[in-house]
């Protein structure tokens, strides 16, 4: 069996717990380069998704998750997260079971949709770069545990690669020099949430 709504519900609960635990850290990091509310955004958003009733249709479940996140997190990061979930919804609508081998394509679709919505590019030192690394790392895999392990390694590697580079996207780009040597808040949030999915 592949990815089902039951998996999405379990993942949402783990993401909500991970986001809540990381809230203060992310707010502090974001406060150095942005508005200082990233932790609140991800914690509030994933808590709302975790409390949402999700239908058995995986695509409709992704859609419901997208709407739930957007409902409580209208910031740019919240909008991008909702956009990613919407992209996954479009590719899975009408199915109750998605082969794990399709997950890389869903991550890539989320990356591309976020890139179009946020007008960002790979190399800007943003969540797009870590999504790209994860999509490539799990390409060709079809076991969820192997995917989780590969994705976490890719996330850590991408963070290390971009840490020494300046931010060139969003509010953080105004602090480009200051951002050198720092993790991008969005990338850090994604990495922490991804680590929270480890029990999957």
DSSP 8-state secondary structure symbol assigned to residue 198: T
Q: What is the pTM of this model?
A: 0.91
> Which residue stretches of the chain have pLDDT < 50?
200
Could you read off the pLDDT of 9-58 as tens digits, one per residue?
999 999 999 999 999 999 999 888 777 899 999 999 999 999 999 999 99
CA Rg, the chain, in Å?
Answer: 16
Residue 174 confidence (pLDDT): 57
- Main-chain dihedrals φ then ψ at residue 98, nearest 5 degrees: -110, 120
The domains of the chain, with CATH numbers, are: 5-196 (1.25.40.340)
Half-sphere exposure of 18 (CA within 13 A, CB side): 18
Indicate the DSSP class of residue 57: S
Contact 141, 148 (CB under 8 A): no
Residue 189 near residue 170 (C-beta atoms within 8 A)? no
Fill in the DSSP letter of residue 3. Answer: B
Eight-state DSSP code of residue 2: -
The length of the chain, given as a count of residues: 200
- What six digits make up the tokens of 182? 């720092």
Q: 70 is written with which tokens?
A: 């957007």
């Amino acid at each position: 069996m592949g990815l089902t709504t039951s998996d999405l519900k379990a993942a949402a609960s783990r993401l909500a717990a991970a986001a809540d635990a990381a809230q203060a850290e992310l707010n502090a990091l974001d406060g150095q380069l942005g508005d200082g509310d990233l932790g609140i955004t991800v914690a509030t958003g994933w808590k709302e998704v975790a409390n949402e009733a999700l239908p058995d249709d995986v695509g409709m479940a992704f859609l419901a998750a997208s709407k739930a996140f957007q409902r409580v997190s209208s910031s740019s990061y919240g909008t991008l997260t909702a956009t990613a979930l919407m992209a996954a919804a479009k590719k899975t609508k009408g199915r109750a079971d998605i082969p794990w081998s399709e997950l890389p394509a869903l991550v890539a679709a989320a990356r591309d949709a976020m890139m179009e919505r946020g007008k960002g590019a790979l190399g800007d030192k943003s969540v797009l770069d870590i999504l790209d690394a994860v999509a490539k790392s799990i390409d060709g895999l079809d076991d969820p545990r192997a995917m989780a392990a590969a994705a976490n390694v890719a996330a850590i590697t991408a963070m290390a690669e971009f840490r020494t580079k300046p931010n060139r996207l969003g509010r953080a780009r105004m602090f480009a020099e200051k951002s050198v040597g720092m993790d991008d808040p969005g990338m850090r949030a994604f990495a922490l949430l991804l680590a929270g999915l480890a029990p999957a």
